[in-house]
């Protein structure tokens, strides 16, 4: 019956009684139909009423087989209703070490840290709904930093999708803009191909996270689907053909620019590490006698002791490096993306420089900064190609340039060390702590930063000498990253000592993973730099917001008691004299340990480039007079 | 740096930049990518016909701050391949960036900016125009002039079917507006290269 607004319905009494009783209409499928049976079965499955018949090969088996075929040996995960079929068979696959994390975000960051430390694809898993949304921050972190990761989530059975079932959320809709690719798998038969494709996409070209959402009935369904060959996988993604070799013509143009430049500088980014091109970078730098600066994620691309290693650039980078960029006549950017933390104001960035920009992702070239010579290609192949084409340079011809760089460096290192002056009052200063950690670990450990001041102190003062020794959430800036990512890094590279360097703010976001460290005896040493503040927030409030310190003060617990409650040995240092001792004590422990450093409360990281300003507008001191 | 300052001097170096040590005026600010004059661009996008591919394209354009003016999607004669025609406004660099971002989608096979190419461009429009006995003939005349046709007639209205470029249909709609447009629907531009060249055949699959 159609009715226009305002029209009164006819009185029921005046209508003749219907000949038949009206049948109740419902969106629920009628009994006896195939659809109704499916919905019924799905509902039962959600209540765990239906156990899969044991030991026929089900979707969950196909998933485990596929992971093993891809070389996965560690799975960071947290169980939940719809992924119970996986947990039911997980024990049959001892090849995979399952780490039961305490929160899916921790599992996601652990997979990320594992990937960055090992160069392999990290794998994490969570259940539908909240398990999946808890993974989102970790997936986004991996996306912004181009980390190869496969995130697996379960979803409700097919027949319940779209019904707002218990713990149902459109997670592929959520992860779509923050993954390299994602899948919703609705059939057990699709699992082998999708997993193989996901690993291929995650690891090739510009790496990134790939998310696979699998319905519960796909995990439970019987399947005989075979695992595809690599050729099958490649044929299945015809739109994905990354350019590896730089275009010969562009390489020639670049080589010509390099030969003409008198103040050239190499900017090394994460791409150098991802492509494992540190050897090629060194060879190129040595042949051309061009100094190397690095981005936050490019740390470790060159040994900091190398004579051509010049320093860390950007917002909190070294002043001498930013000066060199601002006066360079040629920038050779390899595997970096001119992030705003690197360039500051683009209008005033490197005003005298022509730019050669090599990146494997064409979309990065010309995105933030207009460049003169674009090269699309893998960092290793491009560096190799360039090294072949450039003439060897006699260092003597760059004597004036090098002398000026050395002057700037001396001046900058002399003035910005202990920039806040906190040490003057005998307080423990964070830069001293991270410098000692670097020294006492012989600069060979894996150092995992959190976000904020601790991250910048670590990047500036620890001195990195090995590729993949520095791990940091650069793009997304995810607080709480350090401890779980260090957990993954320790498993990804068990040869190296692993240190999580964190602040009191970030630590309190994911400290539940202390339990995972303790139970699985994962030997992460945590250096907790506690200034009882959100230090970077406080610094900005002091300098940019006229000292309005709203919410910057952050009370924390007794961190020694907290760690000990989890069964993690803990130490505390409040003075400079104690630092070496506690570091050595933590190192002596076979397993995880935590050191609580009570550092100066109001120490700032200098220099600092205020937002919106350029690399030439660095703030170097605030409120204290330099001696 | 050359050790002989006399070779540097005031003359701009070959690359057009003055050496910092000798610069007397600050250099001009670096150009920002995408800050040039905006104009209408037409992109042809070939994609794998997979669930959610339209969502991926739309989501990417939204997230990257590109405003799509029109979007037409259909299957092609090739199995599993769909074709999108997308029009948007932006400067050449910004639209090139949009195309490069589209290439990051695994399901995207090819993106071609055909703005500068010789193309046949058509969109289809259905326009329901208010008419009376007095002015119906007038409306029909206008429609004929624009090579459109009347596909439905009622006492109070006609449905006009028109096809042509965006500009042609804009012009027709502007004329019909004075009679009263009850509703209208447009497919958005669809384009094809003139001559024997084929965007689809250029796909290497």
Tens-digit pLDDT profile for residues A196-211: 999 999 999 999 999 9
Whether residue B4 lies within 8 A of chain A, CB to CB, comes out as no
C-alpha dist (Å) from residue B81 to A236, A291, A379, B50: 13, 48, 32, 9
Asked if residue B23 has pLDDT above 80, the reply is: no
The helix-helix angle for A104-118 and A130-144 (nearest 10°) equals: 30
Flag whether pLDDT at A401 surpasses 90: yes
For residue B46, the cross-strand partners are: B83, B110
pLDDT for A55 equals 78
Does A167 participate in catalysis according to the annotation?
A: yes
Inter-chain residue contact B26 with A369, CB threshold 8 Å: no
Strands (E) in A2-130, as ranges, are 74-77, 97-100, 122-126
> Could you give the CA distance from residue A103 to residue A343 in angstroms, rounded to a whole number?
36
Concerning whether A455 is annotated as a catalytic residue, the answer is no
CA-to-CA distance for B192 and A67, rounded, in angstroms?
A: 44
pLDDT band at residue A33 under the 50/70/90 scheme: confident
Q: Which of A436, A495, A499, A439 is nearest to A470 (CA)?
A: A499
Query: What's the rounded Cα separation, in Å, for the pair A500 and A342?
Result: 24
Nearest CA in chain B to A343: B30
pLDDT at A416: 54
CB contacts under 8 A, B 100-129 vs A, are 100-101, 103-109
pLDDT of residue B5: 37
Q: Which of residues 308-347 of A touch B (CB under 8 A)?
A: 327, 329, 346-347
Three-state SS for A231-274 is HHHHHHCCCCCCCCCCCHHHHHHHHHHHHHCCCEEEEECHHHHH
CA B136 to chain CA centroid, Å, is 35
- Asked if B15 is an interface residue toward chain A (Cβ–Cβ < 8 A), one would say yes
- Look over chain A and give the mean of its residue pLDDT values, rounded to a whole number: 92
Asked if residues A97 and A148 have their Cβ atoms less than 8 Å apart, the reply is no
What pLDDT sits at residue B32? 81
Cα angle B132, B134, B139 (rounded to 5 degrees) comes to: 75
A175-189, A505-519, A606-620, B61-75: lowest mean pLDDT where?
A606-620
Q: Is the dihedral of CA B172, B173, B176, B182 positive or negative?
A: positive
Place of tokens 């986004």: A140
Helices and strands (DSSP H and E) totals, chain A: 24, 18
Residue A25 has pLDDT above 70, yes or no: no
Nearest to A140, CA basis, from A106, A175, A110: A175
> With 60 as the cut, is the pLDDT of residue A624 above it?
no
Question: In the predicted model, what is the mean pLDDT of residues A395-407?
Answer: 96
Question: With an 8 Å Cβ cutoff, are B30 and A362 in contact?
Answer: no
Is residue B96 within 8 angstroms of chain A, CB to CB?
Answer: yes
Residues B177 and B173: their CA atoms lie apart, in Å, by: 6
Per-residue model confidence (pLDDT) at position A54: 56
Give the relative orientation of helices A319-327 and A399-416 as an angle to the nearest 10 degrees: 150
- State pTM to two decimals: 0.90
A214 touches A155 (CB < 8 A): yes
Q: What is the mean pLDDT of residues A332-350?
A: 95
CA distance A579 to B184: 75
A229-280 pLDDT, tens digit each:
999 999 999 999 999 999 999 999 999 999 999 999 999 999 999 999 999 9
SS3 A64: helix
- A561 catalytic? Reply is no
A362 contacts on B by Cβ (under 8 Å):
100, 103
Give the residue on A whose Cα is nearest the Cα of B205: A238
Cβ A329–B13 below 8 Å, yes or no? yes
Query: Going by C-beta distance under 8 Å and a sequence separation of 6 or more, which residues neighbour residue A27?
Result: none
Strands (E), A360-465: 373-376, 446-449
- The percentage of residues in chain A with a pLDDT greater than 90, rounded to a whole number, is 83
A470-471 β-sheet, strand order:
A470-471, A446-449, A498-503, A524-530, A593-598, A570-573
Identify the burial level of A162 via C-beta atoms within 10 angstroms of its C-beta, where 0-12 means exposed, 13-18 middle and 19 or more buried.
Answer: exposed
What the block records as the tokens of A142 is 């991996």
For residue B87, list its beta bridge partners: B42, B70
In 3D space, the residue among A178, A182, A223, A272 whose CA is nearest the CA of residue A59 turns out to be A223
Q: Tell whether ipTM is more than 0.90.
A: no
Q: Check CB contact of A184 with chain B, cutoff 8 Å.
A: yes
Q: Is residue A4 predicted with pLDDT exceeding 60?
A: no
pLDDT for the residue A422:
55
**Contacts A349 to B, Cβ<8 Å:** 30
A104 given a catalytic annotation: yes
Which of A237, A351, A404 lies nearest to residue B30, judging by beta carbons? A351
Q: Pick the catalytic residue from A178, A456, A536, A608.
A: A536
The pLDDT, as a whole number, for residue B203 is 85
Q: How confident is the model at residue A27 (pLDDT cuts 50, 70, 90)?
A: low
pLDDT one-digit tens code per residue, B142-164 = 999 999 999 999 999 999 999 99
CB contact under 8 A, A351 and B26: yes
At B10 the pLDDT is 39
């Amino acid at each position: 019956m159609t009715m226009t607004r305002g029209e009164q319905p006819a009185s029921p009494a005046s209508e003749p009684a219907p000949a038949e009783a009206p049948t109740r209409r419902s969106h629920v499928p009628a009994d006896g139909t195939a659809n109704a049976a499916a919905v019924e079965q799905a509902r039962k499955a959600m209540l765990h009423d239906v156990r899969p018949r044991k030991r026929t090969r089900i979707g969950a088996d196909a998933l485990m087989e596929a992971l093993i075929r891809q070389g996965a040996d560690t799975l960071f995960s947290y169980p939940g209703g719809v992924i119970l079929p996986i947990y039911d068979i997980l024990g049959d696959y001892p090849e995979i070490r399952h780490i039961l994390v305490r929160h899916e975000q921790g599992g996601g960051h652990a997979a990320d840290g594992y990937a960055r430390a090992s160069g392999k694809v990290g794998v994490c898993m969570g259940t539908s709904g909240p398990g999946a949304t808890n993974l989102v921050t970790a997936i986004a972190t991996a996306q912004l930093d181009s980390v190869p990761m496969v995130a697996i989530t379960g979803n409700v059975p097919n027949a319940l999708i779209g019904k707002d079932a218990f713990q149902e959320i459109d997670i592929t809709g959520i992860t779509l803009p923050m993954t390299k690719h994602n899948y919703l798998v609705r059939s057990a038969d699709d699992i082998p191909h999708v997993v193989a494709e996901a690993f291929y996409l995650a690891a090739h070209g510009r790496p990134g996270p790939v998310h696979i959402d699998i319905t519960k009935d796909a995990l439970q369904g019987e399947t005989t689907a075979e695992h595809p060959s690599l050729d099958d996988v490649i044929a299945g993604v015809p739109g994905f053909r990354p350019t590896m070799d730089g275009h010969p013509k562009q390489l020639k143009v670049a080589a010509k620019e390099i030969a003409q430049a008198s103040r050239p500088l190499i900017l090394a980014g994460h791409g150098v590490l991802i492509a494992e091109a540190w050897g090629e970078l060194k060879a190129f730098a040595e042949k051309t006698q061009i100094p190397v600066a690095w981005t936050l994620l490019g740390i470790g691309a060159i040994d900091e002791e190398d004579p051509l290693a010049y320093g860390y650039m950007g917002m909190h980078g070294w002043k001498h490096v930013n000066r060199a960029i601002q006066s360079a006549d040629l920038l050779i950017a390899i595997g970096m993306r001119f992030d705003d933390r690197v360039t500051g104001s683009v209008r005033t960035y490197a005003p005298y420089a022509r730019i050669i920009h090599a990146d494997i992702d064409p979309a990065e070239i010309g995105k933030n900064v207009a460049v003169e010579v674009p090269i699309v290609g893998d960092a290793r192949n491009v560096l190799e190609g360039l090294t072949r084409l450039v003439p060897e340079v006699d260092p003597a011809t760059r004597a004036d340039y090098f002398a000026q760089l050395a002057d700037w460096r001396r001046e900058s290192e002399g003035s910005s060390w202990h920039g806040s002056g906190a040490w003057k009052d005998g307080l423990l200063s964070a830069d001293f702590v991270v410098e000692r950690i670097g020294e006492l670990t012989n600069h060979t450990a894996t150092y995992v930063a959190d976000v904020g001041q601790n991250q910048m102190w670590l990047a500036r003062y620890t001195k990195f000498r090995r590729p993949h020794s520095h791990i940091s959430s650069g793009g997304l800036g995810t607080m709480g990253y350090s401890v779980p990512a260090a957990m993954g890094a320790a498993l990804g590279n068990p040869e190296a000592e692993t240190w999580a360097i964190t602040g009191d703010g970030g630590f309190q976001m994911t400290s539940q993973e202390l339990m995972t460290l303790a139970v699985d005896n994962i030997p992460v040493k945590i250096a907790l730099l506690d200034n009882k503040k959100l230090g970077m927030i406080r610094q900005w409030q002091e300098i940019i917001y006229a000292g309005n310190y709203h919410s910057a003060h952050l009370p924390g617990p007794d961190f020694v008691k907290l760690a000990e409650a989890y069964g993690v040995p803990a130490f505390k240092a409040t003075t400079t004299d104690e630092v070496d001792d506690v570091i050595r004590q933590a190192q002596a422990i076979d397993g995880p340990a935590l050191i609580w450093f009570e550092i100066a409360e109001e120490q700032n990281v200098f220099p600092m480039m205020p937002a919106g300003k350029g690399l030439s507008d660095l703030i170097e001191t605030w409120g204290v007079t330099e001696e | 740096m050359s050790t002989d300052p006399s070779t540097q001097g005031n003359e701009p170096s070959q690359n057009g930049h003055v050496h910092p040590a000798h610069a007397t005026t600050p250099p001009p600010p670096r150009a920002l990518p995408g800050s040039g004059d905006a104009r209408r661009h037409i992109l042809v996008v070939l994609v794998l016909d997979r669930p959610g591919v339209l969502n991926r394209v739309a989501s990417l354009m939204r997230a990257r701050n590109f405003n799509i003016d029109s979007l037409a999607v259909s299957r092609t004669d090739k199995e599993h391949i769909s074709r999108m025609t997308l029009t948007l406004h932006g400067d050449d660099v910004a639209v090139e960036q949009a195309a490069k971002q589209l290439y990051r989608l695994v399901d995207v096979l090819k993106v071609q900016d055909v703005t500068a190419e010789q193309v046949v461009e058509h969109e289809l429009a259905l326009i329901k125009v208010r008419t009376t006995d007095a002015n119906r003939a007038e409306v029909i005349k206008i429609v004929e002039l624009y090579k459109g046709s009347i596909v439905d007639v009622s006492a109070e209205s006609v449905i006009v079917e028109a096809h042509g470029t965006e500009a042609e249909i804009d012009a027709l709609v502007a004329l019909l507006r004075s009679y009263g447009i009850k509703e209208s629907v447009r497919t958005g531009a669809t384009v094809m290269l003139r001559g024997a060249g084929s965007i689809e055949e250029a796909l290497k699959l």
